[in-house]
Amino acid sequence: MNRQIDSPIVLLGARLLSPYIMLFGWYVIIHGHYSPGGGFQGGALLAASLLLIRVAGGSKLAELQIREFATTPLAVIGVVIYFATGLVAMMMGGHFLDYEALPIPGMEPAWLRYTGILIIEVGIGLAVMAILIMIYDNMVRGEDYA
Amino acid sequence: MIWEVELIIYLFLALSAIVALEVKDMLVAVVMMTIFSFLMALLFVAMGAIDVGFTEAVIGAGVTGILFVVVVFQTSRKSND
C-alpha cells in the first residue's frame, strides 16, 4: 500500500463514532429476545466498532483494545457459554437449550426463559465479535495500515 | 411503504450495481457495493423483514466493506518499474 499521511480527521471521526456503535451493539444483544436483532447482529456491531478503530488508528492503537492473541480464547469462551447452557439444561432433565430446566433458584419459568436467551445471546455475540476481529487481524498480518 | 420512494430506491440499487460492475477503480467498486447493501437493507425493511434488513445493514454495509478495503489494499500494488 502506498503510504499516506496520517489523517487526524479520520481518526477523530472513528474515535467519535466507535463508542456509540459499541453501545448500540450491547443494546441489540440485551434486547435481542423481544426486538429485531440478537446475538449475531449485536456481535457484528461490536466487531464493527472495534474494526473502525483498527482501520483508522493502526495496530498500535488497536493493541489497547483487544490484542491479537486474545481473539481466539474469546471466541472459544463464547462457544463454551452457548454449549454449556444447552448441556446444563440437558443434564437437569430438559431438552438441549430448554431454558426452563436451567438450575437458577428462585425464578419463574418465564423469567428463566428470558435469562436463558440472554445468556445464549451474550455467548453468540462474544463469539461473532472475536471471530470477525480474528479474520481482520489475520488478513492484515505483518502490514500496518493507517 | 410509498411506492414512489420504493421505485427510486430500486433505481438507485440498479445504478449502484452497474457502477460497481463497470468501474475501473476497485475502491469505488467497494463503496458502490456498500451503497448497494444499504439500499438492499432499506428495501428489506420496507418489505417487513426487519431482522434480515438489520443483518444486511450491519454485515453488508459495515464489516464486509472494511474487509473488502483490506483486500483491495493487499492485492493492488503500484509497480515501480
Looking at residue A94, what DSSP letter applies? S
> By CA distance, what is B60's nearest residue in A?
A44
Task: Tell me the average pLDDT across A121-127.
Answer: 93
Does residue B81 belong to any structural domain of this protein? no
Residue with cell 445504478: B15
Task: Give me the pLDDT at residue B9, please.
Answer: 94
This model of the complex carries an ipTM of: 0.82
- Which domain does B37 fall in, by range? 3-75
User: CA B66, CA A69: separation in Å to the nearest integer?
Assistant: 21
**pLDDT over 70 at A145, yes or no:** no
Does residue B53 belong to any structural domain of this protein? yes
Of A11-15, A76-80, B75-79, where does mean pLDDT reach its minimum? B75-79
- Cα–Cα nearest to A21, from A53, A66, A56: A53
Does residue B71 belong to any structural domain of this protein? yes
Mutate to test the interface with B, among A51, A53, A129 (most CBs of B within 10 A): A51
Task: Give me the pLDDT at residue A141, please.
Answer: 77
**pLDDT over 60 at B54, yes or no:** yes
Q: Spell out which residues of chain A touch residue B69, defining contact as CB-CB under 8 Å.
A: 55
**pLDDT over 80 at B6, yes or no:** yes
Residue in B59, B67, B77 closest to A136 by CB: B67
A23-66: pLDDT as tens digits: 999 999 998 888 888 889 999 999 999 998 888 887 778 788 88
B41 contacts B61 by C-beta, under 8 angstroms:
yes
Query: Residue A7 to residues A31, A57, A58, A68, B70: CA-CA distances in angstroms?
Result: 37, 9, 12, 24, 18
**pLDDT over 90 at A19, yes or no:** yes
Task: Tell me the average pLDDT across A76-86.
Answer: 93
Residue with cell 454485515: B59
- When the pLDDT of each residue in chain A is averaged and rounded to a whole number, the result is 86
- Most confident listed range (A18-27, A28-37, A113-122, B63-72): A18-27
Q: Spell out which residues of chain A touch residue B74, defining contact as CB-CB under 8 Å.
A: 1, 139-140, 143
Q: Is A135 on the interface with B (CB under 8 A)?
A: yes
Number of domains within chain B: 1
Does residue B63 belong to any structural domain of this protein? yes
Residue B63: CA atoms inside 13 Å, Cβ hemisphere, count? 26
Does residue B69 belong to any structural domain of this protein? yes
Q: Is B17 on the interface with A (CB under 8 A)?
A: no
Q: Is A17 on the interface with B (CB under 8 A)?
A: no
Mutate to test the interface with A, among B44, B66, B74, B79 (most CBs of A within 10 A): B66
Interface contact A2-B62, CB threshold 8 A: no
